[in-house]
C-alpha cells in the first residue's frame, strides 16, 4: 500500500486526488485541507482540517499516518515551508522547498535568475522599493506591467491598457502596491496570446504536459477584473489553435534551462511542477511568470487525460528518475468552465459584490467531470463561499464537442451562479487565432 498525503482544498486538488486514486497501485489517500472539500474528502481515508501555516499539526498527521510522500497543491503551503518541514521528518514531497518555491513567490528571484544565466524570455524589468527612478525606467517603454514581488493569487498583475491607461497611472499603481508590499516589479508589456505550460521536474529532467489556455478576466469577452481563472481549454493535438509547434518547444526549452539554473544557483534539485505562464509575441515566446505548482483550472485540463500512472510519476519526481519514464496523455480536447457566485471577483464596493454563502444544487451531470472548489457540504446541502465553486470539465475528441459537454452540464447546477459561456467556443478561439495572426504580421 502507498500512503499519500495531499495538501490543498480546491478543484485542482480534487482532480489531483482523483488522479492519484486512478493509480494501479493500492493507494491510501490522506488529505489536509483548510476547508472541507466534499470531493476530496470522499476519496480520502482521513482528513485533517487546518490552516496551511500549521506545519506542526500537518507534520504530526503525516507521521501518524505513516505517509510515503506528499503532494502539495497550492502555493501557500509551499511558501510556508511545508516541504522543508516534512523533509526533516523523512517525508519527501512533490513540490519544491520554500527556497525553490521562490520561482513563484518572488518574481524578482525568477527574473534575476533568467538574467544571470542568460536564459531567453525576460522582458525589460526592474524591481523598485520606492517610487524613485520608476518614471525614468518606464519612459521609453511602449507599455508597462506592474506587480507586487510576492504572492497575489493570480490577481496582482496590472497591465497598461487593461487596468490603467497612462504612465502616470502606472506610477499611481506602483504607489498603491508599495503601500502593501516591500517592492514592486515594473516590466515592459508584451503583446500576444498567453499559454500555460505545466512541466513536471525531478531537478534534472523536465517533461511538458499539453499546453492550456486560461481565461483570467471575470466576464465574457475578456472584460472585467482579473480572477484566479474562469476556465481553460486544451486541444486533442496537444498544441493550441494559435500556437506553432516551435512555441511550445521554446517554452519547454526555457523551463529546462531554468531547472538547470536553479540547481546551479542553489545546489538543490527542484522537485515538483514548474508551470510557466508564457506569451507568444511577434519576436517569439516570452515568460510572464512561473508558478511552483499545477494551475487552477489548468490541472483539470491535463490530469484527466493522463494515461501514465500518476503515482509512478510522483515517485520518479522524488527519486530523480523522470528520464526513464514515458509520460503519455490521451489525444482529447478539454474545456473547463468554473461555476462561481454572481459576486465573484468584484470589488467589495461593487453593487453586485456579495460575500454571503448561497446554496447550490447539482442535478444529474453524468457526462462531465465535476471538481469541487470552494464549496461547503452542510447537513442541508451544498453551499458556495465567495470564491470559485465548481470546475465543470467536458472531455471529447474535439474542442467543439468538449465545449458543448461542459456548457450542457452547467444547466444542471442550480443556484445564484455565474460562469463564462464563451470559454472554448469557436468565436473566442477564432478571435485568439486572428489576434495571433495580426501579431505575427500574417
**Residues of the shown chain interacting with ligand GLY in the complex, contacts defined by CB under 6 A:** 154, 214, 229, 291, 295-296, 298
310-319 vs 11-21: helix crossing angle, rounded to 10: 100
Beta partners for 273? Answer: 200
Return the number of the residue (152 or 401) whose C-beta is nearest ligand GLY. 152
Scanning 298-380, the segments in alpha helix (DSSP H) are 298-302, 310-319
Return the number of the residue (27 or 392) whose C-beta is nearest ligand GLY. 392
Query: Is 39 in contact with 14 (CB distance < 8 Å)?
Result: yes
* Rounded least distance, CB 356 to ligand GLY, Å: 26
How wide is the angle at C-alpha 257 spanned by C-alphas 254 and 260, nearest 5°? 150
Return the number of the residue (229 or 424) whose C-beta is nearest ligand GLY. 229
* Rounded least distance, CB 196 to ligand GLY, Å: 6
Return the number of the residue (248 or 336) whose C-beta is nearest ligand GLY. 336
Three-state secondary structure call for residue 272:
strand
Query: Is 167 in contact with 134 (CB distance < 8 Å)?
Result: no
| Side-chain half-sphere CA neighbours of 201 within 13 A | 33
* Rounded least distance, CB 292 to ligand GLY, Å: 10
Q: For residue 215, give the nearest of 337, 307, 373, 56 by alpha carbon.
A: 337
Return the number of the residue (68 or 214) whose C-beta is nearest ligand GLY. 214
Residues 328, 346: Cα–Cα separation, whole Å:
39
Beta partners for 361? Answer: 414
* Rounded least distance, CB 64 to ligand GLY, Å: 31
Phi, psi of 24 (to 5 degrees): -75, -15
For residue 170 the three cell numbers come to: 502606472
**How far, in Å, are 111, 242, 278 from residue 121 at the CA level?**
9, 19, 9
* Rounded least distance, CB 291 to ligand GLY, Å: 5
Return the number of the residue (229 or 345) whose C-beta is nearest ligand GLY. 229
* Rounded least distance, CB 76 to ligand GLY, Å: 12
* Rounded least distance, CB 229 to ligand GLY, Å: 4
| Side-chain half-sphere CA neighbours of 251 within 13 A | 30
Count of C-beta atoms within a 10 Å radius of residue 183: 18
> 128: part of which helix (H) or strand (E)?
strand 125-128
Return the number of the residue (298 or 407) whose C-beta is nearest ligand GLY. 298
* Rounded least distance, CB 296 to ligand GLY, Å: 4
* Rounded least distance, CB 391 to ligand GLY, Å: 11
Beta partners for 94? Answer: 71
How wide is the angle at C-alpha 280 spanned by C-alphas 277 and 282, nearest 5°? 150
Return the number of the residue (296 or 422) whose C-beta is nearest ligand GLY. 296
Return the number of the residue (95 or 229) whose C-beta is nearest ligand GLY. 229
Residues comprising the chain, all counted: 442
Amino acid at each position: 500500500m502507498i500512503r499519500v498525503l495531499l495538501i490543498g482544498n480546491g478543484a485542482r486538488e480534487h482532480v489531483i486526488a482523483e488522479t492519484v486514486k486512478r493509480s494501479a497501485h493500492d493507494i491510501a489517500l490522506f488529505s489536509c485541507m483548510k476547508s472541507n472539500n466534499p470531493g476530496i474528502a470522499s476519496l480520502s481515508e482521513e482528513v485533517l482540517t487546518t490552516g496551511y501555516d500549521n506545519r506542526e499539526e500537518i507534520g504530526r498527521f503525516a507521521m501518524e499516518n505513516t505517509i510515503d510522500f506528499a503532494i502539495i497543491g497550492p502555493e501557500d503551503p509551499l511558501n510556508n515551508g511545508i516541504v522543508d518541514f516534512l523533509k526533516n521528518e523523512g517525508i519527501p514531497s512533490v513540490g519544491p522547498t520554500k527556497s525553490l518555491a521562490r520561482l513563484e513567490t518572488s518574481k524578482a528571484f525568477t527574473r534575476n535568475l533568467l538574467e544571470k544565466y542568460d536564459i531567453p524570455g525576460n522582458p525589460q524589468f526592474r524591481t523598485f522599493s520606492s517610487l524613485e527612478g520608476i518614471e525614468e525606467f518606464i519612459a521609453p517603454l511602449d507599455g508597462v506591467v506592474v506587480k507586487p514581488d510576492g504572492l497575489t493569487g493570480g490577481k496582482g498583475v496590472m497591465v497598461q491598457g487593461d487596468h490603467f491607461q497612462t504612465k502616470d497611472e502606472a506610477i499611481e499603481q506602483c504607489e498603491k502596491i508599495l503601500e502593501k508590499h516591500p517592492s514592486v516589479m515594473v516590466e515592459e508589456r508584451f503583446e500576444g496570446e498567453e499559454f500555460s505550460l505545466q512541466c513536471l521536474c525531478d531537478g534534472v529532467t523536465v517533461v511538458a504536459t499539453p499546453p492550456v489556455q486560461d481565461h483570467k478576466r471575470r466576464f465574457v469577452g475578456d472584460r472585467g477584473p482579473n480572477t484566479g481563472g474562469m476556465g481553460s481549454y486544451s486541444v486533442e493535438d496537444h498544441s493550441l489553435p494559435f500556437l506553432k509547434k516551435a512555441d511550445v518547444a521554446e517554452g519547454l526549452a526555457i523551463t529546462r534551462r531554468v531547472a538547470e539554473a536553479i540547481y546551479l544557483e542553489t545546489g538543490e534539485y527542484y522537485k515538483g511542477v514548474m508551470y510557466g505562464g508564457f506569451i507568444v509575441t511577434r519576436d517569439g515566446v516570452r515568460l510572464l511568470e512561473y508558478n511552483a505548482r499545477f494551475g487552477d483550472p489548468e490541472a483539470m485540463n491535463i490530469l484527466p487525460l493522463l494515461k501514465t500512472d500518476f503515482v509512478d510519476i510522483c515517485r520518479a519526481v522524488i527519486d530523480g528518475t523522470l528520464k526513464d519514464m514515458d509520460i503519455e496523455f490521451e489525444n482529447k480536447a478539454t474545456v473547463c468552465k468554473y461555476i462561481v457566485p454572481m459576486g465573484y471577483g468584484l470589488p467589495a464596493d461593487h453593487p453586485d459584490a456579495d460575500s454571503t454563502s448561497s446554496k447550490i444544487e447539482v442535478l444529474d451531470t453524468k457526462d462531465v467531470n465535476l471538481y469541487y472548489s470552494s464549496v461547503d457540504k452542510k447537513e442541508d446541502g451544498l453551499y458556495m463561499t465567495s470564491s470559485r465553486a465548481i470546475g465543470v470539465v467536458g472531455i471529447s475528441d474535439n474542442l467543439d464537442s468538449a465545449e458543448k459537454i461542459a456548457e450542457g452540464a452547467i444547466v444542471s447546477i442550480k443556484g445564484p451562479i455565474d460562469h463564462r459561456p464563451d470559454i472554448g467556443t469557436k468565436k473566442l478561439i477564432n478571435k485568439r487565432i486572428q489576434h495571433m495572426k495580426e501579431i505575427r504580421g500574417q
